[in-house]
Amino acid sequence: MKRFFNPLCLSGLFLAIALPSLAQAETIERIAAVAGDEIITLNDIRHEGVLRYAVKGKDIRDIDDSATHEQDMEELVKELVQTRLINRQAKKNNINVGDREVDMQLQEMYSKSGQGEEAYKAMMASEGIEWSAYRAYIRNEIEAQFVIRSELAGQVSPSEADVIACAQEKAPDAENSITVTLRQIIIPELAEDSSAGLSAPAAKVLNEVWWNSLDNAMNQYASGIQKLAAAHPDNFIEYVKKYSTGRSAERDGVLGSFSPGDLSKDFAPVFALQKGEISPLITTSAGYHILRADEITMGESETWKKTLEQCREQIAMTESQHLIESWLGDLMIKNYVSIMVNNDISDTQ
């Protein structure tokens, strides 16, 4: 059965987390953080943290043995605090996420995973997670998205200068390039020594001179066709039907439209062709290629356009993340948040 979580050993997840200096019985209601008039205890962390870690494919018990124990604990408490603050902000903004929205999110998950609700419930139960707790987690996540969108809508706008600079770094040769529409005649390399009945590598070893003579003959044959096409470029489709093989031959030699960077370096000469001109003979592992430039378009290449879009999305995502982090930071300041999960209180009375 396909699992929703990463494979983990999560049995007994609701056992107490080992906490610094204090036994479970003494610390079960210890205050971990204060957010305005709301208190988060270690008991809250112990129960809510299990689910949050499991959704990320982690076991919360690993915190105890982690070299970054204090940092991990503080990050977890901070996440729980922010969830509560966002819930509070949702009420202020009259944002209400109900069962319908949760069900829609679950249905999307079922569709992607190919499993139904009963299978999910069984998986949650096997991992020690109550179904109601998981639904509450999804509700909180949806609510957070609505709140952030309502608070930060329209504030992310990558500058065109940043987008262009990013694209120039990723695809320096694609800007203001050319797009060439090509037809080709392809003459394949010999793949087998028919006289010896051996594969080409073996044939070369056994009769290198004979094989080289065949190789030279094929090259001369392909060169002859290239000269014929170069002399009569208007008859190129006729030569395709007569001499070419492969899938492009079924389309009268149409190979497609390309910009620098779309093809291997072997095909670099085609980008220097004029419209209707025939390429020199190009040799690759597939055989001998003779190409005609049917159309030449100057301007932004498809590669450049795609790179611009990728950079725009990348920058927008980064800006969004920074904006969200800043907004959450301000929210914590406004609500007088104090995180004290790692405070040493072992000497207090």
Assess whether 140 and 189 both reside in one domain: no
Q: Quick one: pLDDT at residue 15? A: 29
Q: With pLDDT > 90 as the criterion, what percentage of the chain qualifies?
A: 26
* Domain annotation covers residue 303: no
Calpha distance 144→307 (Å, rounded): 31
pTM above 0.85, yes or no: no
Same domain, yes or no, for 131 and 220?
no
Which alpha helices (H) appear in 22-94, and where do they start and end? 24-27, 42-55, 62-65, 69-92
- Whether residue 292 sits in one domain with residue 184: yes
CA 139 to each of CA 60, 262, 322: distance values in angstroms, whole numbers, following the listed order: 22, 45, 24
What digits encode the pLDDT tens for the residues 68-103? 888 888 888 888 888 888 888 888 888 888 899 999
Does the residue 172 lie in any domain?
Answer: no
* Amino acid 294: pLDDT: 94
The answer to whether residue 328 sits within a structural domain is: yes
Same domain for 213 and 279 = yes
Question: Which pLDDT value is given to residue 37?
Answer: 83
- Whether residues 28 and 153 share a domain: the answer is yes
Q: Are residues 106 and 221 in the same domain?
A: no
Residues 331, 215: one domain?
no
Query: Are 66 and 140 in the same domain?
Result: yes
* Residue-wise pLDDT tens digits, 161-215: 999 899 888 887 776 678 899 999 998 876 544 454 555 565 555 566 666 777 7
Whether the pLDDT of residue 2 is over 50: the answer is no
Total domain count, the chain:
2
Tokens at 58, concatenated? 């982690």
In a shared domain, residues 139 and 86:
yes
* Complete DSSP assignment for 228-270: HHHH-GGGHHHHHHHH--SGGGGGTTEEEEE-TTSS-GGGGGG
- Buried-exposed string 113-128: b where 16+ CB fall within 10 A, e elsewhere: eebeeebbeebbeebe
The reply to whether 96 and 185 lie within a common domain is: no
CATH number of the CATH domain containing 219: 3.10.50.40
pLDDT for 228 equals 94
Q: What is the domain range of residue 237?
A: 178-298
Is residue 242 located within the same domain as residue 216? yes
3 falls within a domain: no
Domain membership of residue 345 (yes or no) is no
pLDDT digits (tens, 9 = 90+) for 258-297: 888 788 999 999 998 999 999 999 999 888 999 999 998 8
Residue 133 maps to a domain = yes
Does residue 15 sit within a domain? Answer: no
Q: What is the CATH number of the domain that holds 120?
A: 1.10.4030.10
Same domain assignment for residues 63 and 183: no
Q: Is residue 249 included in any domain, yes or no?
A: yes
Closest residue by Cα to residue 176 from 291, 300, 68: 300
Pick from 301, 302, 277, 299: nearest CA to 290: 277
Q: Which two tokens stand for residue 188?
A: 């394949």
